[in-house]
Amino acid sequence: MAERLLSQLVATWTQQTEVGFILGDPDAPTETRLIPDPATGVTFRLRWLPHRELRTDPHELERRGILNPERDEDLLFRDPRDPSGLHCFLCPQNIAICHPAEALVPVRAGGREWLAGANFAWLAHNHFTVLTVDHVDQVFDRSVLAAMLEIHAETSGQFRVVFNGAYAGATIPWHLHLHATTDAFPIEDLTPGREVDYPAPLRVFPDTAEGEVVRYVSRWEERDPEHHRVNVLVAPWHGRAAVFVILRDTRARNAAAKGLMGGWEVAGDFAYSEKRKQFEAADLATVRGALAEITPPAVRDEKE
């Protein structure tokens, strides 16, 4: 079982690259800046990924065969709560209409049916968006954590799994989704015991502490349901699987020196596709400052 999902996902990524569904060349070397942080043992990673800019250019996506130029906009499902009026990018039936070349891998995890599709505007190697078959809200609960842990375990610990809270990295709050990638995150090198020195509020739990993680997240969200969210990462940590939880607040979703701070950034991985000067100028103080800037007001108040 363990190897099957891993090989299916890797084979799908390769196939999607070969047919031109993946922007840029994920196999080419990526311009990378590494910034070691002696306080935590983490080496922050900054990467220049200009291909991501193409994701907002429908004509270029159509030209490349990524977006179907003959899609019937009237057939697309739109969540009535979405003020933009755009269709849901994550509904499988919308994907079939808009991106017929996209291959979706069925995944059963956490008692739910999911589909994993290669992210054409990838942030990492083997970067998949794992979305629920059903159009349900982006809410973290026990079944979502179980799904994350199962996907990690069923890929022999190769795929890291990310959950971004709504408006805390996730820009589509109406369709439950995860991200998965085989690239290691900088935060995996965090020295045990140094969690308090990480610039964003972080707790790390063993993969066996499912109940504790769920209670910790619920307590945080219940304190201020309107604003309190989390980023959650399941990844290897010093030889075993761990659950990294970063406390977030929808009022502190951006950092001046980076922009939107999502699951990648809070795990120490800063991707730039524009703002070349920011990419070149960032140093340890910039990165730590950006992570400290998204500290929720409630956590900030407790520290003072």
Given the rule CB under 5 A, which residues bind Zn ion? 88, 90-91, 135, 175
Are residues 270 and 124 in contact, defined by beta-carbon separation less than 8 angstroms? no
Cα separations in angstroms, 24 against 19, 34, 137: 12, 22, 31
Nearest CB to Zn ion, comparing residues 82 and 274: 82
Nearest CB to Zn ion, comparing residues 112 and 135: 135
Nearest CB to Zn ion, comparing residues 91 and 217: 91
Stretch (H or E) spanning 294? none
Distance in Å, CB of 66 to Zn ion, minimum: 19
Stretch (H or E) spanning 68? none
Distance in Å, CB of 90 to Zn ion, minimum: 5
In the sheet that 112-118 helps form, which strands lie side by side, from edge to edge? 104-109, 112-118, 128-132, 177-181, 160-164, 228-237, 240-249, 202-206
Nearest CB to Zn ion, comparing residues 88 and 109: 88
Find how far residue 176's CA is from the centre of its chain.
12
Nearest CB to Zn ion, comparing residues 33 and 55: 55
295 half-sphere exposure, CB direction, 13 A CA radius: 18
How much is the CA Rg of the chain, to the nearest whole Å? 19
Residue at token pair 């954590």: 145
Nearest CB to Zn ion, comparing residues 82 and 283: 82
Residue at token pair 């390769």: 14
Distance in Å, CB of 131 to Zn ion, minimum: 8
Distance in Å, CB of 161 to Zn ion, minimum: 20
Are residues 214 and 177 in contact, defined by beta-carbon separation less than 8 angstroms? no
- In the chain, count H helices and then E strands: 9, 13
Give the phi and the psi of residue 6 in degrees, each rounded to 5: -55, -50
Distance in Å, CB of 284 to Zn ion, minimum: 40
Distance in Å, CB of 55 to Zn ion, minimum: 18
